[in-house]
């Protein structure tokens, strides 16, 4: 497995909508493995393919067994999900505002309002279609990562002024990445 380079906002790939995956082969499984290794290496809980320069509708996620928004962000407990071509079928009317972080937006915590629950249709790494309902931090992480594969970062939830300030701060501190 390989740890991939995580792209930092405002990289143009992060603003690009990812393509649907049509081939479920060893190359795809290698990308999933590399993305997982990258997510763990950066102590993340989710990673979308375009964050590592792969313009495919792929997400990896592992929040462990603790699905609460107040969980300790450090321990990874190997409850790994692969979501390929994810499609949201339903979101709850209940909304929760929570400060999110992002591997592609380092050093920034941005409050984002998201649905507390969702039902997701997706393919696993073999191409098998699945439908599951997610709540709490899992739902939030999925919605955050789906934003990524749709070409949106959490910076897009800010006003233009706040977004410009955040991007300047990121560029100043992370321009070498």
- What gap in Å lies between CA 151 and CA 13, rounded to an integer? 8
> Does the annotation list 102 as a binding residue?
yes
- Whether 145 sits among the annotated catalytic residues: the reply is yes
**Residues 60, 141 contacting (CB under 8 angstroms):** no
> Does the annotation list 148 as a binding residue?
yes
The C-alpha R_g of the chain, in whole angstroms, comes to: 15
Choosing from 37, 99, 125, 145, which is the catalytic residue?
145
Burial class (CB in 10 A: 0-12, 13-18, 19+), 109: exposed
Look at the alpha carbons of 168, 61, 90, 146 in this order and tell me if their dihedral is positive or negative.
positive
> Does the annotation list 144 as a binding residue?
yes
Binding residues: 102, 144, 148
Which positions are catalytic?
145
Annotated binding site for Fe cation: 102, 144, 148
């Amino acid at each position: 497995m390989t740890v991939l380079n995580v792209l930092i906002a405002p990289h143009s790939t992060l603003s690009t909508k990812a393509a649907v995956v049509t081939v479920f082969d060893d190359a795809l499984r290698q990308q999933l493995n590399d993305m997982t290794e990258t997510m763990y290496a950066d102590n993340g809980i989710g990673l979308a393919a375009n964050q590592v320069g792969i313009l495919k509708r792929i997400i990896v996620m592992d929040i462990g067994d603790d699905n609460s928004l107040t969980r300790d962000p450090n321990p990874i407990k190997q409850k790994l999900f692969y979501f390929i071509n994810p499609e949201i079928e339903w979101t709850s009317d209940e909304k929760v505002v929570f400060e999110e972080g992002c591997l592609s937006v380092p050093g920034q915590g941005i409050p984002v309002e998201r649905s507390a629950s969702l039902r997701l249709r997706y393919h696993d790494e073999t191409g098998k279609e699945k439908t599951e309902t997610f709540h709490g931090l899992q739902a939030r992480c999925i919605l955050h990562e789906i934003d990524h594969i749709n070409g949106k970062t959490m910076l897009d939830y800010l006003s233009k002024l706040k977004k410009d300030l955040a991007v300047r701060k990121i560029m100043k501190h992370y321009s070498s990445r």
